[in-house]
Structure 1
Amino acid sequence: MSFTLSGRGVVLGVASLVLKEGATIEGALEVVRAAVDAGVVAIDTARAYATVDDDAAGERIAQVARERSPSLPIITKAGHFRLGRAAWDSDGSAERVRADALRSREVLGAPPSLLLLHRADRVEDLEASVRELAALREEGVVEAIGLSNASIEQLDRARSITTLDAVENRFALGIDRATEYRYCVDAGIPFLAYAPFGGPRADPLATHVPRVAAIARNLGVSVHRSALAAMLDAMPGAWPVIGSTRVESVLDSIAAAELAVDDELRRAFADDLRSRDVGLGA
């Protein structure tokens, strides 16, 4: 079964809802429920989004979203896991990928809509991992498969073995190049772009897209909403994965799908990326 997302919009990643200092299950569920009600297109979680006491904390949060909207796609990831309070490790072996997939299905109560190999960049035997992903899809343990944090070379190797249903890589606006996105567009593979605002340690978004920020001020909306709207307009086949932890921020980002994008905003977005040598062109 292939992986599809309905229309233009954003995906909510739950990593920070679990891992951020001071995060609570009550706060996480408030954010997730608000996001589902506002029309988020999918929930993104992982086996690695765990607490010291609960190896499936992130997937339990995703399951609440699925209960609220049974058709909502749930994305999860295998092969990367929490060891302790501040330690994680990776194991992309076939055995670990299968064990993670089975655990995800158990927690979610149904096959994950999409299972990604979480750290394709840290796998010793990528071919073995991908063959196991393909077997899990064939058996119906998961509905679709793909890679996360993968290079072009790794994507080529994986696709020589089986069809990839999606790819999830970091794409921070004004920071990261669009190399993997362009590859996925050419191959017809949905591209999930995580950390579009740069992540918790990044400089403010307005410093990366100043022209878009100026237009946002004139419109009376946030630079985050304007930048996401421009991204969705300029990058067909890509879905930004946001990691906001406040209801207000999540709703603001989801509203980007409804913000009209005119030629002025298109030019500003393109100029901002080009000026930082990270444009969308080849």
Structure 2
Amino acid sequence: MALLTLLTDFGYRDHYVAALKARLLHLEPALQLLDISHAVEAFNIAHAVYVLSSVYQDFPAGTVHLVGVSDLGRGHGAEPVWHAAHYQGHYFVSADNGLLNLLCDGRPEELISLPPPGGSNLASPTRDVLAPAAVRLAQGEPLSALGPPAPDLHQLLNRQLRLQDNRITGHVIHVDHYGNLITNISRSAVEVVGRGRPPAVHFARETVRELLPHFAAGEPGAAVCTFNSRDCLCIGIGQGHAAELLGLYYDSQVDVRFVAD
């Protein structure tokens, strides 16, 4: 039986996580469950995508990932839709809210529509729609047994880097628990555009002219720029909360500049 991971915005104060796990274990008592997080910001698709994309490939192939974030999907009066997908050897079940499109940077390799629950009760689509589908996948059922091929997928766009001869313009894509700012500027982009020239990272009213190997290499209270394990450029404050101290948050602009040849 495949491992089943859980990623939701249910939080830890209420009974919602326990109710979801109770439902899953009722469907399959031998299920292997592992929590990724239940502290995704409420309805924050970008946060969920960042967390999931950072870790799902570390799990064994065939793992099923149940994502209960903004689980009524597109909203704005549209009929809710839920999907199950196969992508890079993993299975995902989620509402049609743009998450799968962002995670896969397009359409997954296989995508099916999950049938809605009987009746009009949509109090918890994660429990009543996504959980049964996730269990069936973990039990080894093929994706095609869960529903018909999905005709379309809700589209959201990832922020794209702007590359120029002497400059890279990116944005903050995540603020972590410590207040560090993770950007969409990759190490490879810095190397390709920089061509061996030293970079200067510009954000808010700050300029950092040295990339350090890790956050602890900086002085307490000083701004630090480094690459994380995913080779994303990150900004932090030594022993401080960078987002609060710098006034930068999700989607804030960050530039890397190089002296002209």
TM-score by length of 1: 0.28
Which entry has the higher C-alpha Rg, 1 or 2? Answer: 2
Question: Which is strand-richer, 1 or 2?
Answer: 2
